[in-house]
Amino acid sequence: MVSISSVVQMPPRQRLRHKLEFFFDHEIHQLPPAAKAKIIRIQVDIDRLDPLGWLSQQTAEIKTYWSDREGRFDMAGVGATDILHSQSTPDFSTVFSHMQQRLPANASVRYYGGFSFQPGSSLAQQWQEFGTYRFVVPQFEVYAAAGKTYLACNFLLSEDLPYPQQLAALLNQLNQLSFTPEKPSLRLPKVINRQDFPSQWGWQTMLKKALNTLQKDILAKIVLARRSDFLFSQKVEPLSLLMAIQQGHTRLFRFCFQPQAGKAFIGASPERLYHRLGCLLQTEAIAGTRPRGQFLADDQSLGQDLLTSEKDNREHQFVVHSLRESLSQLCKLVGLDQAPALLKLSQVQHLHTACNGILVDGVDDGKILSSLHPTPAVGGYPKQPAREAIEQLEPFERGWYAAPVGWVGHDNTEFAVAIRSGLVVNDQLSLFAGAGIVPGSKPRDEWQEIENKIRAFTTVLNPGQNKRRPLPIDSKIESKIV
């Protein structure tokens, strides 16, 4: 018999191995049949370990990373216990229902993934592995929350294999994990080419068409995006890129979804689509952008200019109005900030309006998602005409850019909007960012706004291009000054 004190002193791999063996030898026989049909999680406390750094050391093809904006938890996962994936148009409620059938009443067991921006459209080759939706429960996780770190194993029991054989398979996969305390490399290969879709000339042409549509009162606002492709001298490691852009950047949702080696969707988004805890719903409007100033006085002036800008406030109010319309159908009680505040990030600052609600009985995540996505901050207003115009005008497929990405738990769900994001395919990085177009928008200004939005990436790709002194990022949202 192994004593408790000796187990505590074991390295992480041995501790989890011991707990898995104990489960299969003893605890599995007390499980009720209903529990055996759900995902089972076995976890152990471990010494503090950086999840993203640990993930970068692993050789598994499937990797998943999520870090929430408020710093509540940090999850790095390898492999997949369960995958929900499709190339066809999803029914949101059915997708969530399939996940709930497998999820136990354990807040730590979660599906991580997302949907495509236009679930009904055909997928370009580079997005095939992601599908119209893809959600994964990692096989193994390093999970950090509330000052503690855990190593966990998630698995589903099979009725077709003897339990000893299932245990042996898990232990074999556990043995392939690396716990080498090496400092991950942040070095990136050299950029040898950049190409924008559309080009600056094409961007001007696209915006003129959009502005003509706005003048015909078909749309009040449309968000048009650009894709910037960077070719490197060799393959790019997605996690090294994600680690590089997180330096000095806070208050962001960070994510990496890697369905296979050499291909990953990564990002650092400031925008929450929604967070649901039971019947409590949190969401927000983010629209209207200015860069951060080089000096404090410049920064405050830019922020005040944003707060008093008629054009930006008009753009922001489309998002707020759309939120109010959606929440009136979803919630029996809604609380909405009276005026926007400034959300200051490292490179840009935005107008921000927070919203909370109590859901009507029977409203599920499928109804919430279909009602809120896409917000006018990434699509336009009204929604459906804006989506149709985006498909006609943009010379590329958005894929998962600006789409809902996040996690789903037993009674707790959170999705961010996948902006400030990029698709890594071997030696190429495609960056995506958009700008809200309303009457009065100027192509040159909107082009520069997108440059500001992708600067978190471009400054680490070309470290010498931005010499300005970084300003602090507020830990709270500033109040509006009238």
Question: Of 62, 468, 476, which Cα lies nearest the Cα of 261?
Answer: 62
Structure token pair of residue 342:
């400034």
Question: What are 473's two structure tokens?
Answer: 């990022």
pLDDT at 316: 86
Largest CA distance in the chain: 79
∠453-303-310 over CA atoms, to 5°? 90
Per-residue pLDDT at 170: 97
Q: 191-465, which class in CATH?
A: alpha beta
Residue ranges of domains in the chain: 4-173, 191-465
Model pTM? Answer: 0.91
> What are the residues facing 359 on neighbouring strands?
331
Superfamily of domain 4-173: Anthranilate synthase (3.60.120.10)
* Distance from C-alpha of 339 to C-alpha of 323, rounded to nearest angstrom: 14
Cis amide prior to 198 (ω within 30 degrees): yes
**Do the annotations mark residue 21 as ligand-binding?**
no
DSSP state of 480: P
The 8-class DSSP code of residue 482 comes to -
| Helix, strand or coil, per DSSP, at residue 404 | strand
Annotation marks residue 21 as catalytic? no
Query: Which candidate, 392, 374, 388, 375, places its Cα nearest to that of 206?
Result: 392
pLDDT at 248 (0 to 100): 63
Contact (Cβ atoms closer than 8 angstroms) between residue 294 and residue 254: no
- pLDDT score of 480: 34
Residue with tokens 């236009």: 118
Catalytic choice (271, 397, 414, 446): 271
How far is the C-alpha of 400 from the C-alpha of 116, rounded, in Å? 4
271 in active site: yes
pLDDT at 217: 80
* 388 marked as binding residue: no
pLDDT for 463: 63
Q: How far is C-alpha 156 from the chain's CA centre?
A: 26
Tell me the C-alpha distance between 79 and 59, whole Å. 10
Which listed residue (221, 344, 367, 480) is catalytic?
221
Asked if the domains 4-173 and 191-465 are classified in one and the same CATH topology, the answer is yes
Q: Mean pLDDT per segment of 10 residues, for the chain of length 482 residues?
A: 51 94 93 92 94 94 95 95 93 94 93 91 84 97 94 94 95 94 77 94 94 86 94 94 80 94 94 95 88 87 90 86 90 88 83 92 95 91 91 94 97 95 96 91 92 86 54 39 25
Evaluate whether 363 touches 200 at the Cβ level (below 8 Å): no
